[in-house]
């Protein structure tokens, strides 16, 4: 089957007298225009192959001289054989193999960088969550301590008030005894004061039980947060040693 003639100068759109600098500039422009990664059109691959073939021949002075003779003979109507064809095809195949290897290395590097970024972001999120838990626990502890201090002050005030009531009752009782006043009113007020004290003591026991439950819950949260941080550090050390 006769070989189909290709006018490489026409493919690159240059003059037969173009120098190597012009040929390289045109090739770079056409490579960006027809590269399959940048041009999804069906004709791009075929055109890129023709552009590569033309550049491989015209950028090599010996091959260009042979091609110019072949082109001149074709213009005269004869069909001489072009001995550089096999060499051009091998060069083209090697070019596409190098391009594929370079693309695969770049893709692998991008995947590795993305995976490393994903792991770093996951570690950062886990660390931020653990730190947020610790901060929330610390804020809750301070709030609870402030509430406890306020509650203790309130209890102290109530105790002092109750004790003052009891003292007044006792004084009143002595005065009533001396005045031979009935004991019913005194007993009622004393019982009321004792009821206040019992209520305070019961409330204190309930709060102490709630504080014990809260401290146990905080202890578990501290341990969970610490375990998260230990796992993150172990994973980081493992990757560092790996």
The tens digit of pLDDT for each residue in 87-125 reads: 555 454 454 455 545 545 665 677 777 788 888 787 899
CB-based contact 8:77 (threshold 8 Å) = no
What are the tokens at 181? Answer: 């006043």
Token pair for 2: 């006769």
Asked if pLDDT for residue 128 goes beyond 80, the answer is yes
d(CA 213, CA 219): 10
Model confidence at 137: pLDDT above 70: no
User: What are the boundaries of each domain within the chain?
Assistant: 8-115, 120-241
At 53 the pLDDT is 95
Q: What is the DSSP string of 4-22?
A: PP--HHHHHT--TT--HHH
pLDDT at residue 134, as a whole number: 60
Q: Tokens in use for 86?
A: 């096999």
Considering the domain 8-115, what is its CATH architecture? Answer: Orthogonal Bundle (1.10)
H/E stretch holding 25 reads helix 20-34
Share of the chain above pLDDT 70, in %: 80
Sign, CA torsion 205/206/211/212: positive
């Amino acid at each position: 089957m006769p070989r189909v003639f290709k006018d490489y100068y026409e493919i690159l759109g240059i003059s037969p007298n173009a120098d190597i600098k012009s040929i390289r500039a045109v090739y770079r422009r056409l490579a960006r225009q027809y590269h399959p990664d940048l041009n999804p059109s069906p004709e791009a691959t075929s055109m890129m192959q023709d552009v590569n073939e033309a550049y491989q021949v015209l950028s090599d002075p010996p091959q260009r001289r042979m091609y110019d003779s072949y082109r001149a003979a074709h213009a005269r109507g004869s069909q001489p054989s072009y001995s550089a064809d096999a060499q051009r095809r091998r060069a083209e195949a090697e070019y596409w193999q190098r391009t594929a290897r370079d693309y695969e290395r770049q893709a692998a590097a991008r995947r590795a960088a993305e995976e490393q970024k994903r792991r770093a972001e996951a570690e950062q999120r886990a660390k931020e969550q653990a730190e947020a838990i610790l901060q929330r626990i610390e804020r809750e502890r301070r709030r609870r301590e402030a509430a406890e201090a306020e509650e203790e002050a309130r209890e102290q005030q109530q105790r002092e008030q109750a004790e003052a009531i009891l003292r007044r009752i006792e004084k009143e009782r002595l005065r009533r005894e001396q005045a031979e006043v009935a004991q019913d009113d005194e007993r009622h007020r004393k019982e009321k004061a004792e009821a206040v004290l019992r209520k305070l003591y019961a409330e204190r026991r309930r709060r102490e039980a709630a504080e014990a439950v809260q401290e146990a819950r905080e202890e578990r949260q501290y341990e969970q947060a610490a375990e998260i941080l230990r796992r993150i550090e172990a994973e980081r050390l493992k990757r560092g040693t790996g």
